[in-house]
Structure 1
């Protein structure tokens, strides 16, 4: 889907926004479980994900579609890659028992 298609498709906009909100909520839960994660793995951008979630959830009609588009096409893929790396590092540090 192109950005222009995205702009014309309200259903996809809503779905992408809700997915991004869910990721931001999960990021906050991770931060609660281990507050050091954001500091130890800055590429996860947990705080930014949660702030973005709040903006999406409470922004009402002020949501900027170009930011949602960049989030779902670029930022989420970067976060997934960072999460995989963090998981491998965490498992090595834990002796692979997690």
Structure 2
């Protein structure tokens, strides 16, 4: 389980931070495109502070999300048997799809 936790942690954190970087790149491009419009400049004061708080928020949100995921997983999988858990999830999804 510790290896699985580390693997999920690294992958989730990498995806969240990568999406955050793409979001900040799009904000930067929009700043360049619309900087000549009246009133837009006021919205972009302290943009470095905005970028850093966005990254910090992404990081904290990813940490909270990972911990919630593991807490939920521990609650629904008391036997710590991943195979039976995945089988139950697959059966529940199959039943859900077949109910339509």
TM-score tier, shorter chain, comes to 0.3 to 0.5
Higher Rg of the two aligned structures: 2
Under a length normalisation based on structure 2, what TM-score does the superposition of the two structures give? 0.36
Under a length normalisation based on structure 1, what TM-score does the superposition of the two structures give? 0.37
1 or 2 for the larger relative contact order (CA 8 Å, sep ≥6)? 2
